[in-house]
A and B are shown apart, each in its own frame.
Chain A
Amino acid sequence: MGLSSNNRNLLSKMATNDGHGENSPYFDGWKAYDSNPFHPTNNPHGVIQMGLAENQLCFDLIEEWLKGHPEASICTSEGVDEFKETALFQDYHGLAAFRNAVAKFMGRVRGNKVTFDPDNIVMSGGATGAAETISFCLADPGDAFLVPSPYYPGFDRDFCWRTGVQLVPVVRESSNNFTLTITALEAAYKKAQYAGLKVKGVLINNPSNPLGTTLNRETLRSIVRFINEKSIHLVSDEIYAATVFSQPDFVSISEILEEEVDCNKNLVHILYSLSKDMGLPGFRVGIIYSYNKEVVSCARKMSSFGLVSTQTQHLIASMLSDNDFVERYIAESAKRLALRHTTITRGLAQFGIGSLKSNAGLFFWMDLRKLMKEPTFEEEMKLWRVIINEVKLNVSPGSSFHCSEPGWFRVCFANMDNETVEVALRRIRTFVLQSKEAETPVKTHRWRNNLRLSFSSLRCEESMMTPRVLTPHSPIPHSPLVRAV
């Protein structure tokens, strides 16, 4: 057919470039999982999904609440009176009750140390939509944001794809536990300038995905000083704010703003969502909170492209205005995350596998540098394929997070039940013991014998790097950026 032969010319550049981010090798772990997903009874030898940052630990609390509050749904006999009004409401300000409840919730999550003004709350299509919208509001095509690495791969798509904006990484190194230093920030800023890029702001993710750590007060203060000096924006993605499960306490940028009188508040914007803290990614509840009225106004107009369904706004407004429920939920969620985190990191430590000390998130940052023959990204990829194909765990290689050093992997732990955690730990133990037996850190020759897929490493690179063709006829329900991840 005529059109398909010159599709390349007939679709936009944006449609035909790789900005969607789905062509990274990151996806092959998903392929392995999709074609052979673990199930405790039906497929006990399948691949365990540890590459998905979902929070599945507290659904019982939410379900219990829903059962007790049928009026929160506009479809029950208790709630149907509000069906029509809710279904018709498409004002981009959002339901007042929704904004009020979200503002209150955000305050609670920060231990009530700060309050949020409901008038500055803007909806978006999940955090994915929030990130893109803030990028559209603050930067022009070709402008740049500085972002500390390693960072969530979705930022490349969210901040850059349709906006034409660029991300410049600020390197964080293992030598100081991946702490963000002002030296590194200054270096990245200079590097961007030499490259002729206009830096419009700094993007931080606090708590951090993939590190699972929070930024301390001093670092946050330095960042605030930095952006004020340079007169650039600060976007703080605090999507994991309520997943902080141990000390140190979470310090939000909002707290710093209350203390730092010298800060130009117009430069600071917070991204939030209920996808991680409450485990409701399907509901697409994204939030932009800005201290800049102009940004609030602009983002609100743009929110027309990604409003939250009023059916969902109604439910969330009801749930989050229940103070008792919210208090209980936040406390219980932190407790369960702490327990899960301890179980898995202690389990790994017993086999000599270390991880970055962390206090937040739905994952931890695993250190497998010792298992690599050489400290290269090629070795990291090799090791990763072994973990997927032999150990049968889908974990995420540090390179997909733009980590500057090879050997680190993000491992998710909140998207499975306790039994699955045990199975995963058992498999890792077996793997580590087998490694020790062979004396050399990674016995590539031995693994080659065991690999069911035998190939030369070069050919392997090629097949793994082939852009996956996602046609409408082969839906891949669980692939990574298929979800906003």
Chain B
Amino acid sequence: MTIEIEQHSVQLSSIAVSDTHGEDSPYFAGWKAYDEDPYNESNNPSGVIQMGLAENQVSFDLLEKYVEQHSEASDWGKKNGISTFRENALFQDYHGLETFRKAMASFMEKIRGGRAKFDPARVVLTAGATAANELLTFILANPGDALLIPTPYYPGFDRDLRWRTGVKIVPVHCDSTTDFRITPQALEEAYNKAQAQNIKVRGVLMTNPSNPLGAAIEQSVLEEILDFVTRKNIHLISDEIYSGSVFSSNEFVSVAEILHARNYKDAERVHIVYSLSKDLGLPGFRVGTIYSYNDKVVTTARRMSSFSLVSSQTQHLLASMLSDTKFTENYIKTNRERLRKRNDFIIEGLRKCGIECLKGNAGLFCWMNLSPFLDAPTREGELSIWNSFLHEVKLNISPGSSCHCSEPGWFRVCFANMSQQTLEVALKRIHDFMEKRRMQRCPLSSN
């Protein structure tokens, strides 16, 4: 006879039961649709094409070639009689491998065309930018405090910056009337709104180049933002994870360059986040970094990185790869060029469908404007057309509302996570859908 033992569910933490992890947003529902019916050129040509994933697959051949030709990157020989494998496997120092930190600093300099210098001693390593952003938030803000973030922004920030930290996000609204530029007025408005609610603002977090806009922030805007944070005596986090994905080197200005020009006055309030997940297309390797001009932040971030260190095996491989100047220069140049070509192709393709995008110059996606085609200029209208895209066109794209965009109708469309052929299929589907739609709405129109 089995005795029924009443299983009391013992409460988990408040963090555990909250939904701040963000996985219930439409952003993820599109993924589900893709997972259940993924497109495959040969096996499932009518499946859902994933255009909601900002992955960089255009330059893998360069990485594979490097790895094949440089066995020393992963060989385990002996150095001074000691096995390098043993030394590497034991290395858990949160400073990270010196060779890797140096290689990272040098890579970041190359991406900025040598216009900024990075000191390896200020490079803190974390398991991905996800960890880096959360870590910085723990360091710069107390629970209940806020960070100002220009909209639209990467949906993952809702989880990364708020979930376990208890910190709030106050959006800085940007709209299409200014091409989504971040204005001093918008910053002031957001700051004042927070003040009115007795919320302490600790800093501004900007992504440059922007996700989801796919555009680098202009120098004048960067100057204004830096002036704003200095006036308010708060921090500035510049997430430059897409810095290597700018189509043309001279169109990206890093906050590091502005600080250099200002002789590093007040630099201690600035912190840069970077990662190899987008530029090098290695999200699985979990390589993120915090570069801070603030000594105390560097020290504390390093200590906190204990919870999310980069595998020493991976550091070893990448130290080798990123210190190879010939490889990195060629990679950066080629990657840029290929992304630019993809971007041009999709922009042109969409234009032919009567769809315009925000003028972009970076990233793995474009910011598409479907507002002229909404049944109603509302979030519902946006989600309605998004559903059509998901279930009729069979494309998973990201609705602006999931990025907290204040204007309905904008969508982020990724183009670097697929082959050229798949991109062509996607464009054809969009073209057919728009045609059908035009026929349905204006059956007598001749265009």
Contact = CB atoms under 8 A, between A and B. Distances in A.
Contacts of A301: 21, 23, 159
Contacts of B134: 305
A1 B233 CA distance: 12
Contacts of A59: 83, 85-86, 89
Given A15-B139, A472-B122, A279 B90 contact: yes
B7 A266 contact: yes
Contacts of A481: 303, 306
B297 A11 contact: yes
A310 B97 CA distance: 19
A139 B9 CA distance: 14
A65 B73 CA distance: 19
A10 to B, nearest CB: 7
A305 B307 contact: yes
A292 to B, nearest CB: 8
A75 B12 contact: no
Interface in B146-190: 159-160, 164
A477 B95 CA distance: 7
B193 interface: no
A19 B160 CA distance: 21
Interface stretch (B214-222, B282-290, B354-362, B393-401): B282-290
Given A309-B285, A477-B95, A83 B85 contact: no
Given A3-B268, A137-B13, A307 B139 contact: no
Interface in B119-148: 119, 121-122, 127-128, 130-131, 134, 138-143, 145
A3 B311 contact: no
A81 to B, nearest CB: 9
Interface in A68-84: 73-77, 80, 83-84
Contact of A282 (B285, B297, B313): B313
Contacts of B91: 281-282
B441 to A, nearest CB: 40
A470 B301 CA distance: 12
A473 B121 contact: yes
B71 interface: yes
B295 A471 contact: yes
Interface string A301-331: 1101111111110010000000000000000
The residue among B16, B21, B164 with the most chain A CB atoms within 10 A of its own CB is B16
B248 interface: no
B195 interface: no
A282 B127 contact: no
Chain A: number of interface residues, binned into ranges = 35 or more
A56 B86 contact: yes
Nearest to A264: B7
Contacts of B300: 11, 15, 20
B89 A88 contact: no
B74 interface: yes
B266 A478 contact: no
A86 interface: yes
B12 to A, nearest CB: 6
B205 interface: no
Nearest to B137: A12
Contacts, number: 271
B444 interface: no
Contacts of B297: 11, 15
B399 to A, nearest CB: 22
A103 interface: no
A47 to B, nearest CB: 18
A29 to B, nearest CB: 17
Contact of A264 (B5, B142, B277): B5
Contact of B13 (A2, A56, A73, A139): A139
A87 B280 CA distance: 10
A471 B306 CA distance: 16
B313 A283 contact: yes
Most buried by B among A126, A267, A305, A310: A305
B296 A15 contact: yes
Nearest to B314: A309
B167 to A, nearest CB: 9
A231 interface: yes
B368 to A, nearest CB: 24
Interface stretch (B61-69, B324-332, B382-390): B61-69
Contacts of A128: 306-307
Contacts of B57: 84, 88
B14 A140 contact: yes
Contacts of A294: 12, 16
Contacts of B265: 1
A56 B309 contact: no
B44 to A, nearest CB: 18
A283 B310 CA distance: 8
Given A11-B300, A54-B90, A483-B94, A312 B16 contact: no
A87 B63 contact: yes
B221 to A, nearest CB: 22
A470 B310 CA distance: 20
Contacts of A475: 95, 98, 121
B353 interface: no
B249 interface: no
29 contacts: A1-B268, A2-B266, A3-B233, A3-B268, A4-B294, A4-B296, A11-B296, A12-B141, A12-B145, A15-B297, A20-B304, A80-B64, A87-B282, A88-B55, A125-B306, A162-B164, A275-B92, A305-B127, A306-B131, A309-B127, A309-B287, A310-B285, A311-B284, A311-B314, A311-B317, A315-B313, A471-B298, A473-B121, A482-B95
Given A298-B16, A477-B95, 11 more contacts: A11-B140, A15-B140, A75-B317, A264-B7, A282-B90, A294-B12, A305-B127, A305-B131, A309-B310, A310-B284, A472-B299
